[in-house]
Amino acid sequence: MAASSISGSAMAAFKSAGIAPHSGDLKLTNFRQCSLTSGRVRSVQLRHSLNSNRGSRSFFSSSGIEFLPSLELFGARIGICIDPSIYLYDFLYIMQTLPLLNKQVSKQLKVCVAAPVVVVTGASRGIGKAIALTLGKSRLQGQGYLTAHWASQRCCLVLGPVLVNYARSSKEAEEVCKEIETCGGQALLFGGDVSKEADVELMIKTAVDAWGTVDILINNAGITRDGLLMRMKTSQWQDVIDLNLTGVFLCTQQAAAKIMMKKKKGRIINIASVVGLVGNVGQANYSAAKAGVIGLTKTVAKEYASRNINVNAVAPGFIASDMTAKLGGDIEKKILETIPLGRYGQPEEIAGLVEFLALNPASSYITGQVLTIDGGMVM
């Protein structure tokens, strides 16, 4: 149950402040309990200092991604917003002491932790589909400890909500959403062209209206209009630049500048290509667009690093797709000869790397990088 969907007679919000690394100090301020019907608010100041040697501190959040835990009481529900800099141990201590505020409900507690909100563009097929499914099925880091610790309190973990964007393949996108929901996740379908500013604004607004924020943006949407430069029409060039490069700019601007920067947290992963690094015959437009994405990635990473927003690019090589399946034997043989590992990559392999960059705490110190995943083509 995501906090954004909470309904009931009460809602509480915690905001943490003054947590110094390794100091063991946790200060909670501005506890607010408000009636959703009357709108009346009562404020209480809470402060507590945790001894740093009281136990192991593992990250509750994915270092910069905000999670929205919520409490469900019989007859009423309470939502809690906890800053992601709080460690898991601190979170558990808060949950242990919270019932003291209301002894009558201390035995009726249910903890639900919601995962970060994800937007994936071009998510109906191929790499985008694999990324949406992987992130939609991913559970929070540290779930085993949290579940075991709170088994007696009926703890549950909510799979991450994913907005699945598509431009034309509506049926395929619907299937992606259904698969996410079948696994217990939350998915939202959005049809729109990310090369158009109005569509991008509406897409981000749709995610925010549904779930309250955007934590992770995956810029994957793209097209090809191949042809030798001497024969390439201006429309072929412009179509690819508009979607593959301008679309990344528009989505990043909407998510980073208007949402992530204010929260001072977020992760953006742009799907580039190895041709953006080395070029490719017959793909002047595509190579230029992907090279632009790489340059944009590095610039945005520098501009928003102070806001705790990580921005990276993934550059796939030849990935198995409907297009590669139609290649003739001779062409395929020549392609595979250029790949040291001797095979195509799989969409799920790209999705695994994206999942690491998006959700894993170990990736929190990575920004402005281009990670090639190409079987050794570019080295």
Instruction: Write the CATH number for 185.
Output: 3.40.50.720
Q: Catalytic: 286?
A: yes
63 known member of a binding site: no
* Residue 51 annotated as binding site: no
For residue 372, the cross-strand partners are 315
Place of tokens 């690094």: 277
- Residue, of 112 and 238, whose pLDDT is higher: 238
342 has a pLDDT exceeding 70: yes
- Domain match, 133 and 81 both: no
Q: Is 319 annotated as a binding residue?
A: yes
Residue 379, in any domain of the structure: no
Has residue 143 got a pLDDT over 50?
Answer: no
pLDDT tier at 28, thresholds 50, 70, 90: very low
Residues 265 and 313 in one domain: yes
Query: 111: pLDDT confidence band, cut at 50, 70 and 90?
Result: very low
Ligand-binding annotation for 287, yes or no, is: yes
122 annotated ligand binder = yes
Q: Is residue 277, in this structure, part of any structural domain at all?
A: yes
> pLDDT tens digits, residue range 235-275?
999 999 999 999 999 999 999 888 999 999 999 999 999 99
SS3 content of the chain, % helix, strand, coil (to 5): 40, 20, 35
4 pLDDT above the threshold of 50: no
Query: Is residue 286 annotated as involved in ligand binding?
Result: yes
CA 46 from chain centre, in angstroms, equals: 32
Indicate if 91 and 225 belong to the same structural domain: no
Distance (Å, whole) CA 363 – CA 160: 18
Q: Domain of residue 304: give its range.
A: 118-152+159-373
378 domain residue, yes or no: no
**Final residue before a domain boundary, out of 87, 114, 141:** 114
Question: 167 with 30, same domain?
Answer: no
E strand or H helix at 356, and its extent? helix 347-359
Lowest mean pLDDT among 6-15, 72-81, 191-200, 344-353: 6-15
Which range has the worst mean pLDDT, 23-32, 97-106, 108-117, 167-176? 23-32
Residue 177 is predicted with a pLDDT of 96
- Cβ count near 75 (within 10 Å): 9
Mean pLDDT in the chain?
Answer: 75
Same domain, 207 and 292: yes
> Would the annotation count 288 as a binding residue?
yes
Confidence of residue 195 (pLDDT cuts 50, 70, 90): very high
Residues 110, 122 within the same domain = no
Look at 15 and 211; give whichever has higher pLDDT: 211
Given a cut of 70, whether residue 299 has pLDDT beyond it is: yes
Whether 286 is in a domain gets the answer yes
Contacts of 253 (CB under 8 A, 6+ apart): none
> Do residues 205 and 65 share a domain?
no
Amino acid making up residue 365? Y
Q: Of 286, 304, 344, 365, which one is the catalytic site residue?
A: 286
Instruction: Quote the DSSP letter at residue 107.
Output: T
* 252 plus 355 within the same structural domain: yes
Tokens of 251: 């989505």
Residue 355 covered by a domain: yes
Q: Do 196 and 309 have their domain in common?
A: yes
Q: Is residue 292 part of a domain?
A: yes
On whether 307 is known to bind a ligand per the annotation, the reply is: no
Which pLDDT score is estimated for 331?
82
Residue 290 marked ligand-binding: yes
Structure confidence at residue 326 as a pLDDT band (50, 70, 90): low
Averaged pLDDT, 96-113: 48
The number of distinct structural domains making up the chain is 2
* CA–CA gap between residue 192 and residue 200 (Å, rounded): 7
Pair 223, 276 in one domain: yes
Closest to 64 (Cα-Cα) out of 241, 256, 351, 276: 256
